[in-house]
Amino acid sequence: MAEEPQFPPLPDIGDILDRKDRFEQKKTAVLKCRECKAKYPREFKEGDYVFKNLKDEACKECNSDATLTIEEIYSEWIDPKKK
């Protein structure tokens, strides 16, 4: 019976959408090798999460298998128009 609540217009939403159209989100995972202690970033892959053991990837420094874990994942917004 209650009427639909009337929300005031939200001017910010347009700005957020513009930003999403214009910017591209780039996700990066920071990998750490238990073998040689190397730490380096690589492009985020689907299914990555922090503390995941990467059994099917070899360390790019010492080439050991199954020694990499994801230490950190971060994302940044890239403006494709800027070079």
User: Which spans of this chain sit near Zn ion (rule: CB under 5 A)?
Assistant: 33, 35-36, 38, 59, 61-62
Q: Parallel, antiparallel, or unpaired: how do β-strands 24-33 and 68-78 relate?
A: antiparallel
Shorter beta-carbon distance to Zn ion: residue 35 or 71: 35
* Residue 48 φ then ψ, to 5°: -70, 140
Order of all β-strands in the sheet with 53-54: 39-43, 24-33, 68-78, 53-54
Of 62 and 78, which CB lies nearer to Zn ion in the complex structure? 62
Give me the least distance between CB of 68 and Zn ion, in Å please.
7
Considering the complex, state which of residue 23 and residue 57 has its C-beta at the smaller distance from Zn ion. 57
